[in-house]
Amino acid sequence: MIALKSQNIEAQGFSCVEDFQDTLKNTIPKIVILDIMLPNTNGFEVLRLLKQDLKTKNISMLLLTALNSEVDKVKGLDLGADDYITKPFGVMELFSACARNAKTQ
């Protein structure tokens, strides 16, 4: 998040999915950067739910995860992710993905 803020990109982090979901009730972001391996839930499920909801389905979704198998990548993209970035990643790669996907809004 520090890297994003250093480029004047407004960013907010969440320690649990419930806090994120509560925030979505009042604020709809342009882009969500989502990990797949989350405590108490699965990022694929969060992605699926966001893409099914009329209020959130148009948010650009970037998956940023340690899961790097082709099966996981295809699953994420098939569920509606706009990009799939595997860890470790470079900060410039993240900036590029954010810029690419912000333009599609």
CATH number assigned to the domain with residue range 2-102, chosen from the 4 options 1.10.645.10, 3.30.565.10, 3.30.70.100, 3.40.50.2300: 3.40.50.2300
Q: What is the CA radius of gyration of the chain?
A: 13
Q: Which residues contact 70 (CB under 8 A, 6 or more apart)?
A: none
Token couple for 1: 């998040």
Residue spans per domain, the chain: 2-102
Provide the residue-wise pLDDT of the chain in tens; the chain has 105 residues: 677 777 777 888 998 999 999 999 999 999 999 999 998 899 999 999 999 999 999 999 999 999 999 999 999 999 999 999 999 998 889 888 988 887 655
Answer for the pair 10, 29: CB distance below 8 angstroms, yes or no: no
Distance CA(68)–CA(105), nearest Å, equals 27
What's the farthest any 2 CA atoms get from each other in the chain? 35
Quote the pTM value: 0.88
